[in-house]
Amino acid sequence: MKKIIILLTVVIFLSSCSLFKKTAKDNEAKEVSSTKTEKVLSEKDKQRQRTKDLEKKRKEQIKEQKRANKEYEKKKKAEEKEKKKKEKEQDKLIKNSAKSERQRIKEERRKEKETLLSAQKLQEQEKKEQERIQKELDSQLEKQLREEEKQQELLEKQQKELEANAENEEERKKEELVKKLEKIEAEKKQKEEQEKKEFEALSTMDQIVYRMKHPKEDTDDNQKQENTTKKEFDINNYTEEDLVTLTDEEKKKILSSKDEKKEGNIFKRTYKKLFPKKVPRSTAYNKLYNEHPKTVVVLYPWNRSDYSSASEMAYTSCVRELSSKGYYLPSALAFMDEIRKDSLLTTKNINLDRIKECKAKYGADMVLLLTIYRVEKPWWSTNINVVAHYDFISTATGDTLFSRHADFNYDTPMPTKTKKNDKLIKDAETSLYLGLFEQMQRYVLLDMPVGPYHEKYGQDGNKRSQPQEKKYKVNIKPS
């Protein structure tokens, strides 16, 4: 039992020792942990303090930044307000200036409209005047043509009547002459027969004496001398002695004088000069009708006159007139550029090879060569004289399809400048000459057959053609 008790005491002691040791260790550990916790707590406090300080600083910085932002926003708002004010002021100024500009533009437009309306009215008046003048010219031309036709018909009738009367008179005279000649021949034969009978009744000696008294006078030498000294026989003025002295050859000549007189009729010759025979266009321009050209190229005209702008005016007026007659022409501006590049595309310098090249290059069927010889206006006269020559050459064959030598006289007063037309008529002389060339092309190319783009294509073959050389007289003076 004692042993057990001792063992128990030992165990209890050992356990108490171990407990003491544990408690000591725990206490040490607690102290260590407390020191550590104190240290940790002090560091945490410091850190917390630091963080608090940092937060304070950050808050202050944020406050400062917010304050600065507020001040910046205030400044910005103030600047924006100022800017808006300035913009408003500028808008007001712009609006005012725009209003004034609009008013000015409106005023200018109103003035332009007024000037345009006045210009249009003047142009319409001029156009109406030109149309009226053109109608008058057309009517005058038609009247002139009708009068010429009537006069020609009257002259033809008169000529026929005169020819018929002359033929009747000549036939009557011829019959009288033939009767007289037959009578003389019969009397001559009777006389010869009587002389022959008388001669045969005579003896041989008396016959010899008779021959000596009546020698033959109709030898060749005597005939020649008589022919040289004899006057020419006049069918209208002759005597019986003239008829007796006629030979057989002279009789034949007299009988055939009717045809010679017809050919040498002065009235007929002068009539043919004044009123040439009507030649239809299909006959006069048969080559043009056979080739059927569609495209025409107008080469730059050769200006041999003293008027420097004649080439340009003639070129533009020819292009306009030919296009109105139903032909296709290349663009005038584009072709003028080509002429500036190539100086051979002019009437002065062109040759037949270059004319034929126009077919491949421009598709031209014929080429117009225009030469202006004279553009004259004396200072004392209102008449302008233009002399020009036109040749339409085929690019396929090189033949002349249409040719005209024109002597054009245009009598009209110069247009006067006024306050109304001062802006429109800047150069009265230029406008006058431009109108002159347009009228000239209209008259010169009047009988040229129309092209395939005309509504009357192929219907003008029976119309009358004009001679190759012609004088034109146009008078547009106010009556």
Identify the residue whose tokens are 């005939």. 223
| Residue 271: band (very low, low, confident or very high) from pLDDT cuts 50, 70, 90 | low
pLDDT of residue 295: 93
DSSP state, residue 107: H
User: Does residue 214 have a pLDDT over 70?
Assistant: no
pLDDT of residue 266: 57
pLDDT of residue 15: 75
Six-digit token pair at 283?
Answer: 């006959």
| Residue 103: band (very low, low, confident or very high) from pLDDT cuts 50, 70, 90 | confident
pLDDT of residue 403: 92
DSSP state, residue 28: H
- 78-104 mean pLDDT: 83
State the Cα–Cα distance between residues 180 and 240, nearest whole angstrom: 8
Task: Identify which of 457, 438, 459 has the alpha carbon closest to the alpha carbon of residue 327.
Answer: 457
Query: Is residue 278 a contact partner of residue 464, using CB atoms and an 8 Å limit?
Result: yes
- 154-166 mean pLDDT: 76
* H or E segment and range at residue 82: helix 2-201
pLDDT of residue 64: 84
User: Does residue 133 have a pLDDT over 70?
Assistant: yes
State the Cα–Cα distance between residues 459 and 315, nearest whole angstrom: 28
State the Cα–Cα distance between residues 440 and 135, nearest whole angstrom: 16
Chain-centre distance of CA 211, in angstroms? 94
Assigned CATH class of 280-475: alpha beta
pLDDT of residue 479: 45
- 41-70 mean pLDDT: 80
State the Cα–Cα distance between residues 219 and 241, nearest whole angstrom: 20
- 81-104 mean pLDDT: 83
Residue ranges covered by each domain of the chain: 160-273, 280-475
Task: Identify which of 267, 332, 251, 323 has the alpha carbon closest to the alpha carbon of residue 299.
Answer: 332
Q: What percent of the chain has pLDDT over 70?
A: 76
Query: Is residue 202 a contact partner of residue 210, using CB atoms and an 8 Å limit?
Result: yes
Is pLDDT larger for residue 11 or for residue 439? 439
When the pLDDT of each residue in the chain is averaged and rounded to a whole number, the result is 76
State the Cα–Cα distance between residues 304 and 51, nearest whole angstrom: 111
Contacts (Cβ under 8 Å, ≥6 apart) of 336: 300
Q: DSSP states of 238-271 as a string?
A: --HHHHHT--HHHHHHHHTHHHHHHHT-HHHHHH
| Residue 246: band (very low, low, confident or very high) from pLDDT cuts 50, 70, 90 | low
Most confident of 154-163, 167-176, 296-305: 296-305
Query: Is residue 335 a contact partner of residue 316, using CB atoms and an 8 Å limit?
Result: no
Query: Is residue 406 a contact partner of residue 371, using CB atoms and an 8 Å limit?
Result: no
pLDDT of residue 270: 60
**310-361 pLDDT, tens per residue?**
998 899 999 999 999 999 998 888 888 888 888 777 888 888 888 888 888 8
| Residue 199: band (very low, low, confident or very high) from pLDDT cuts 50, 70, 90 | low
SS3 assignment, position 338 = helix
- 418-427 mean pLDDT: 52
pLDDT of residue 123: 78
User: Does residue 420 have a pLDDT over 90?
Assistant: no
Is pLDDT larger for residue 334 or for residue 300? 300
Q: Which residue stretches of 202-244 are H helix?
A: 204-213, 220-229, 240-244
